[in-house]
Amino acid sequence: MNYTDLKDKNLNELQALLKEKKVLLFELKAKLKTMQLTNTSELRVAKKDIAKIQTAMTAAQAN
Protein backbone atom coordinates (compact mmCIF):
# COMPACT_ATOMS: atom_id res chain seq x y z
CA MET A 1 0.00 0.00 0.00
CA ASN A 2 1.38 3.39 -1.02
CA TYR A 3 0.46 6.79 0.31
CA THR A 4 -0.30 7.93 -3.24
CA ASP A 5 -3.11 5.36 -3.37
CA LEU A 6 -4.60 6.73 -0.17
CA LYS A 7 -4.46 10.48 -0.80
CA ASP A 8 -7.14 10.24 -3.51
CA LYS A 9 -9.69 8.59 -1.20
CA ASN A 10 -12.27 10.49 0.81
CA LEU A 11 -12.53 10.45 4.59
CA ASN A 12 -15.25 7.76 4.77
CA GLU A 13 -13.26 5.36 2.62
CA LEU A 14 -10.17 5.95 4.75
CA GLN A 15 -12.09 5.28 7.97
CA ALA A 16 -13.44 2.00 6.57
CA LEU A 17 -9.96 0.98 5.46
CA LEU A 18 -8.52 1.89 8.87
CA LYS A 19 -11.11 -0.25 10.65
CA GLU A 20 -10.33 -3.17 8.33
CA LYS A 21 -6.58 -2.90 8.97
CA LYS A 22 -7.05 -2.65 12.74
CA VAL A 23 -9.12 -5.85 12.70
CA LEU A 24 -6.37 -7.52 10.65
CA LEU A 25 -3.74 -6.37 13.16
CA PHE A 26 -5.81 -7.76 16.02
CA GLU A 27 -6.11 -11.11 14.26
CA LEU A 28 -2.38 -11.20 13.56
CA LYS A 29 -1.58 -10.47 17.21
CA ALA A 30 -3.94 -13.26 18.31
CA LYS A 31 -2.24 -15.67 15.90
CA LEU A 32 1.15 -14.61 17.24
CA LYS A 33 0.10 -15.34 20.82
CA THR A 34 -1.22 -18.79 19.88
CA MET A 35 1.92 -19.60 17.86
CA GLN A 36 -0.01 -19.84 14.57
CA LEU A 37 1.68 -16.91 12.84
CA THR A 38 4.52 -18.06 10.60
CA ASN A 39 5.40 -14.75 8.93
CA THR A 40 5.91 -12.21 11.70
CA SER A 41 6.74 -9.43 9.25
CA GLU A 42 3.01 -9.16 8.54
CA LEU A 43 2.64 -7.38 11.88
CA ARG A 44 5.08 -4.67 10.86
CA VAL A 45 3.40 -4.21 7.49
CA ALA A 46 -0.05 -3.91 9.09
CA LYS A 47 1.21 -1.30 11.57
CA LYS A 48 2.81 0.73 8.78
CA ASP A 49 -0.38 0.57 6.71
CA ILE A 50 -2.37 1.88 9.69
CA ALA A 51 0.09 4.75 10.08
CA LYS A 52 -0.18 5.62 6.38
CA ILE A 53 -3.97 5.63 6.57
CA GLN A 54 -3.93 7.86 9.64
CA THR A 55 -1.56 10.27 7.89
CA ALA A 56 -3.88 10.43 4.88
CA MET A 57 -6.85 11.04 7.19
CA THR A 58 -5.05 13.92 8.89
CA ALA A 59 -4.22 15.45 5.50
CA ALA A 60 -7.82 15.04 4.32
CA GLN A 61 -9.16 16.74 7.46
CA ALA A 62 -6.79 19.67 6.98
CA ASN A 63 -8.26 20.40 3.55
Instruction: Give pLDDT tens digits for 23-34.
Output: 999 999 999 999
Per-residue model confidence as pLDDT tens digits over 2-20: 889 998 899 999 999 999 9
Secondary structure (3-state) at 22: helix
Cα 9 to the chain's mean position, in Å? Answer: 14
Q: pTM for this structure?
A: 0.91
* Residue 32 C-beta-side C-alpha neighbours within 13 Å: 12
**Is residue 1 very low, low, confident or very high in pLDDT (cuts 50, 70, 90)?**
confident
Q: Is 39 helix (H, G, I), strand (E, B) or coil?
A: coil
